[in-house]
Amino acid sequence: MRRHILTAASAFALLTAPAAAQVSSVDGAPPTVSQSVDLVNLDASSFAALAASTNTLEITASETAAEMVEDAEVKAFALKMIKHHKMVTAELAAAARAAGVSLDGATTPVQMDPAHARMLDQMKVEGGSSFDERYMALQVEAHENTIDLYEAYAENGENDELKAFADEALPALREHLQQAQALARPS
């Protein structure tokens, strides 16, 4: 069976899942990669909130990238991510409504969870590499985490509407990951 974990990049589940909330580092900071959260038992509300946060991260990072990147292919990718993740946000909102799950922001991006906000901040200010490289590294990591989340919920989720949403979104997310990995490779 494929391993389903959520790393620090998506630590929001720690804030919403009661059992998982007990896991934290010594200083109270969000968990590190070595402190993972099991996605198999994620409830509908937590899945929807985390999925909304991942879309907000994708949209916000890509809007920033569309203004700052130097490479034309990376800019085209950023514009594609904005368009696609806005569409996915609307689809998620519809699936959540059908599931009886409330999402703040309805068809617009919701506030990011703290882990996603930190990822975005690191992309904007981290030194040592070009902005294009940081953006593409974020895209690879975010899509890997999002695919893990969606696969786990599609296989094990408790709500049929959200399971169908997750399953239907996976092919495009996998395509995005492949494109991000190709663009992230040094020339």
Residue 49, in any domain of the structure: yes
Supply the range of the domain harboring residue 133.
Answer: 43-101+114-184
- Nearest Cα neighbor of 154 from 12, 9, 47, 38 is 47
Counting residues of the chain whose pLDDT is more than 90, the rounded percentage is: 41
Q: Higher-confidence residue: 95 or 57?
A: 95
Indicate the range of 43-57, 95-109, 111-125, 173-187 predicted with least confidence.
111-125
The tens digit of pLDDT for each residue in 66-115 reads 988 888 999 999 999 999 999 999 999 999 999 999 876 544 446 666 66
pLDDT at 115: 66
Q: Has residue 7 got a pLDDT over 60?
A: no
In a domain, 172, yes or no: yes
Q: Is the dihedral of CA 20, 26, 32, 35 positive or negative?
A: negative
118 has pLDDT over 90: no
The per-residue pLDDT for 38 is: 60
Is residue 54, in this structure, part of any structural domain at all? yes
CA 119, 140, 51, 149 torsion-angle sign: negative
Specify if 88 maps to a domain: yes
Domain annotation covers residue 21: no
Average pLDDT over residues 26-40: 42
Asked, for residue 2, whether it belongs to a domain, the answer is no
What is the CATH classification number for the domain harbouring 160?
A: 1.20.1260.10
Q: What is the pLDDT of residue 111?
A: 67
| List of long-range contacts for 174-177, beta carbons under 8 Å, 24+ apart | 174/147, 176/81, 176/84, 176/139, 176/143, 177/140, 177/143, 177/144, 177/147
Average pLDDT (162-174) is: 97
**26 domain residue, yes or no:** no
Within-domain flag for 3: no
Highest mean pLDDT among 49-53, 64-68, 108-112, 172-176: 172-176
15: pLDDT strictly greater than 90:
no
pLDDT at 117: 63
Domain count, the chain: 1
pLDDT tier for residue 120 given thresholds of 50, 70 and 90: low
pLDDT of residue 40: 74
Whole-prediction pTM value? Answer: 0.74
Mean pLDDT of all residues belonging to the chain: 76
Check pLDDT > 80 for residue 180: yes
